[in-house]
Amino acid sequence: MLRNKNLWVLLIGELVAGLGLWLGIIGNLEFMQERVPSDFMKSLILAAGLLAGVAISPFAGRMVDQHPKKTIMLYSGAVRCLSVLVMLVAIHYNSVWWMIIFLVFVQLSAAFYFPAIQAAIPLVAKEKDLLQINGIFMNVSTISRILGTALAGILLVLISLSLLYTLSLIAYLLLFIMTCFLSIEEPLREKPTHCNPKRDTGFKEVFPLLKTLPIVTMTLILSLIPLFFIGGFNLIVINISEIQDSSAIKGLIYTAEGIAFMVGAFFVKQISRKQSPYTILFAFSTTIGLAQLLLYFAEVPLLSLIAFILFGFSVGCFFPTASTIFQTRVPKDFHGRLFSFRNMMDRLIFQVVLIMTGFLLDTVGLPYMTVIFGALSLTMTGLFYIKFKDIKNADVSTNEDIQTV
């Protein structure tokens, strides 16, 4: 696995893309903080890009399935580079409208790039290595988030906003160059014609497929449970900091959660040797619900840290397992559409949870909000455990499919 050139290109590309992404995100916040006084207007600006990504997702999924993954990644990388140039124009003219165009381009690029890279992983790796590789990818993504946010915070003190985006552009150009070195062998696909319209159906073929793969349907729905925590993550951290009257706790929480995530993504392969993916998903979705309930005691620093450590470790085990199930259980011809559908669903739920978090924090406060979300997570987990327990025995063999010999 370590000698797989394509994997190294994808991994380093993930790191570089993550650094560029987080440099840009911090830059976006800085730009809006100076020019957009209303928090509601800020949310509308961010939502504009999100809606563009959601709208294009069915088309993006179809394109990923119909065309070489490398080609999709190159085109989306070129759009990503173009978007940074648009943002430089926004800074030059001090224009929020140009920034909105920038956000739309970024989300359009992401709608193609991330399903393509998820669909490319099983094409360049052995099936028995997928769980470990998915864990490594998520660790790299976490490292890029930590390094990117820290680096952006330091650079904003030292350099101008334009130069920060220039560094982001350099990172994206490096990613584009690295993508050129990918060598992915894909089966030839027949081009869609009027006589063969089924390849032009977007998500319409995904839904019948999901009905025949109950464990995939279950995994898609269970993947929403971590979003109850992730969607309002930053708001929760800020609220805990206010409750404890401590600025230092924010850094401790982010660090503890990030380290726990990486540990979970590293150990999930060892866990999978003894437990089926079915068991792993339900066990850690339950743990996520318990972590949310533990935040009822958010005024206690140690307990709040333990809650985020439990959450970080749980999602570090949960997401690689979920990704491996999607990659191994769903035919490769549907990977692009499935991952596009999943990304679209995640984005919509993320925004709903973000709004709900803000509303509940204002109305009932953090302790009762976490009880509501925790109870909802545990209830969903229990209901789906009862509904899907009959497939457990049929899918125990999945554990053998996704671990190394």
> How large is the average pLDDT for residues 360-373?
88
Tell me, rounded to whole angstroms, the distance of Cα 287 from its chain centroid.
20
Torsion of CA 258, 259, 265, 269, to 10 degrees: -170
C-alpha to C-alpha distance for 317 and 312, rounded to whole angstroms = 9
Place domain 203-405 in its CATH homologous superfamily: MFS general substrate transporter like domains (1.20.1250.20)
Percent of the chain with pLDDT over 70: 86
* Confidence band of 151 (pLDDT split at 50, 70, 90): confident
Question: Is pLDDT above 50 for 404?
Answer: no
C-alpha to C-alpha distance for 326 and 312, rounded to whole angstroms = 21
**In which residue ranges of the chain is CATH 1.20.1250.20 found?**
1-183, 203-405
What was the pLDDT predicted at 200? 44
Cβ–Cβ under 8 Å, residues 318 and 219: no
Closest CA to 295 of 353, 361, 362: 361
Question: Is pLDDT above 60 for 84?
Answer: yes
How far from 334 is each of 110, 112, 342, CA to CA, in Å? 18, 14, 12
Closest CA to 239 of 365, 91, 134, 328: 365
> How large is the average pLDDT for residues 35-55?
71
What was the pLDDT predicted at 189? 56
Task: Give per-residue pLDDT as tens, 227-260.
Answer: 888 877 777 887 888 888 876 787 788 778 888 8
What was the pLDDT predicted at 38? 65
What was the pLDDT predicted at 303? 92
Percent of the chain with pLDDT over 90: 11
Question: Is pLDDT above 90 for 143?
Answer: no
Tokens (6 digits) for 357 = 């978090």
User: Which CATH number is 1-183 given?
Assistant: 1.20.1250.20
Task: Name residue, tokens 């554990």.
Answer: 399
